[in-house]
């Protein structure tokens, strides 16, 4: 087998590694992020990891078996932990003349615009939109018995527990996970001019249709010359069982809105900004009526500079506010990130 990798004046490799005439292609990215302390846990993705204090390594490989079949896999490590499997699926292309693919296995996310660009090089800023990262107080394995039980946990999604189910302290769930792929079947199709582009998926999960999470999303992207604008909104509803009084009125609803922009000042230099809000519907407790989780707003602005084509330096500043809960409610944060990919 022959290894083919372009060598030029750049000091770091800039192309995926091709083996066996392109039958196997290996690519990857490495990002290191350093930021100020986060005592309010605004940027935590679980109990241990903050998105603003994270080193991440992704290595992916594609094995091509002719024109119609390919196997794709990816492993990931965070903060120099052991590599863990992140994705593994079979891609089937029934017709070479049409842009239609079927993927089976642990497949990439279908829902949400940002979920398709979660790699650090695809994000113009360092932080994530709230819908994909901020941990609500709900958990998949532990349930509040009453409305009072849920209201007491407002703003504590980074580490909480309830009276029913798993009693171990753990983190809650975001509206949409940007860090986990699903197991199932996915189909993608697009027209030749890409005016119509769609993806559908059937993934593994529970089969109880009474207690579910339902989500809707809409996004718009506009680009012109050196400017790029994006807007995305997501509405998510959870239906929980009624256990005791005061009962939890269903559904519990969360609405996220994100507006993002990027402007290129010069070749390899840009500025970017994002404004985010995550709100929740009211819940009636014994003595209190309040949103079932603490509403959060985040403003972030930053700058990006390409040291070389595949080596990017980003610096950004956030201003986070939370309306409720026992943790810190106002928190500015500054971070820097270096991203390399091949």
> What is the 3-class SS of the chain, one letter each residue?
CCEECCCCCCCCCCCCEEECCCCEEEEEEEEEEEECCCCCCCCECCCCCECCEEEEEEEEEEEEECCCEEEEEEEEEECCCCCEEEEEEEEECCCCCCEEEEEEEEECCCCCCHHHHCCHHHCCCCCCCHHHHCCCCCCCCEECCCHHHHHCCCCCCCCECCCEECCCCECCCCCCCCCCCEEEEEEEEECCCCCCEEEEEEECCCCCCCCCEEEEEEEEEEEECCEEEEEEEEEEEECCCCCCCCCCCCCEEEEEEEEEEEEEEECCEEEEEEEEEEEECEEECCCCEEECCCCEEEEEEEEEEEEECCEEEEEEEEEEEECCCCCCCEEEEEEEEEEEEC
What is the chain's Cα-based Rg? 22
Mean pLDDT of 188-207: 61
Q: Residue 122 — φ and ψ, nearest 5°? A: -90, -15
pLDDT exceeds 80 at position 221? yes
Nearest to 87 by CA among 5, 27, 16, 170: 27
pLDDT in tens, 44-54: 988 788 999 99
Q: What is the pLDDT of residues 232-253, one digit of tens each?
A: 999 999 999 989 999 998 899 9
Q: Can you tell me the mean pLDDT for 12-27?
A: 88
Residues 151, 175 contacting (CB under 8 angstroms):
no
pLDDT cut 70: percent of the chain above it: 90
Query: Which pTM was predicted?
Result: 0.85
At residue 176, does pLDDT exceed 60?
Answer: yes
User: What domains are there in the chain, each with its CATH number?
Assistant: 3-341 (2.40.160)
Residues 93/100, Cβ–Cβ less than 8 Å: yes
Distance CA 291, CA 283 (A): 6
- The answer to whether residues 121 and 312 touch, using CB atoms and an 8 Å cutoff, is yes
Contact between 160 and 151 (Cβ < 8 Å): no
Number of residues that this document lists for the chain: 342
What pLDDT was estimated at residue 86? 84
- Note whether 47 and 38 are within 8 A (CB): no
| pLDDT value of residue 189 | 84
Residue-wise pLDDT tens digits, 127-162: 999 999 999 999 989 999 999 999 999 999 989 899
Bridge-based pairing of strands 182-190 and 99-107 is: antiparallel
């Amino acid at each position: 087998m022959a290894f083919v990798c372009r060598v030029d004046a750049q000091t770091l490799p800039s192309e995926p590694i091709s083996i066996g005439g392109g039958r196997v292609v290996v690519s990857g990215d490495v990002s290191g992020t350093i930021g100020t302390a986060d005592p309010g846990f605004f940027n935590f993705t679980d109990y241990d990891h903050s998105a603003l204090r994270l080193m991440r390594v992704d290595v992916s490989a594609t094995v091509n078996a002719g024109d119609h079949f390919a196997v794709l896999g990816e492993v990931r490590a965070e903060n120099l932990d052991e590599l863990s499997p992140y994705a593994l699926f079979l891609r089937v292309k029934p017709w070479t003349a049409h842009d239609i693919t079927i993927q089976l296995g642990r497949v990439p996310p279908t829902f949400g615009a940002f979920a398709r660009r979660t790699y650090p090089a695809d994000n113009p800023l360092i932080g994530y939109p709230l819908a994909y990262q901020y941990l609500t107080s709900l958990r998949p394995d532990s349930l509040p018995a009453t409305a009072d039980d849920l209201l007491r946990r407002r703003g504590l999604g980074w580490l909480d527990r309830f009276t029913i189910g798993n009693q171990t302290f753990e983190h809650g769930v975001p509206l949409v996970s940007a860090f986990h792929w699903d197991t199932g079947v996915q189909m993608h199709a697009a027209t030749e001019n890409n005016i119509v582009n769609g993806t559908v998926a059937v993934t593994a999960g529970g089969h109880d249709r009474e207690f579910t999470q339902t989500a809707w999303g809409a996004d718009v992207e506009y680009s012109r010359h050196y400017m790029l604008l994006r807007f995305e909104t997501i509405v998510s509803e959870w239906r929980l069982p009624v256990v005791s009084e005061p009962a939890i009125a269903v559904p519990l609803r969360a609405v996220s809105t994100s507006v993002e922009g990027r402007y290129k000042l010069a070749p390899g230099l840009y500025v970017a900004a994002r404004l985010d809000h995550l709100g929740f519907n009211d819940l009636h407790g014994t003595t209190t009526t309040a949103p079932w989780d603490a509403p959060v707003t985040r403003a972030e602005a930053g700058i990006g500079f390409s040291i070389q084509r595949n080596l990017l330096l980003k610096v950004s500043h956030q201003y986070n506010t939370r309306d409720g809960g026992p943790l810190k409610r106002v928190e500015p944060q500054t971070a820097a990130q270096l991203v390399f990919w091949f």
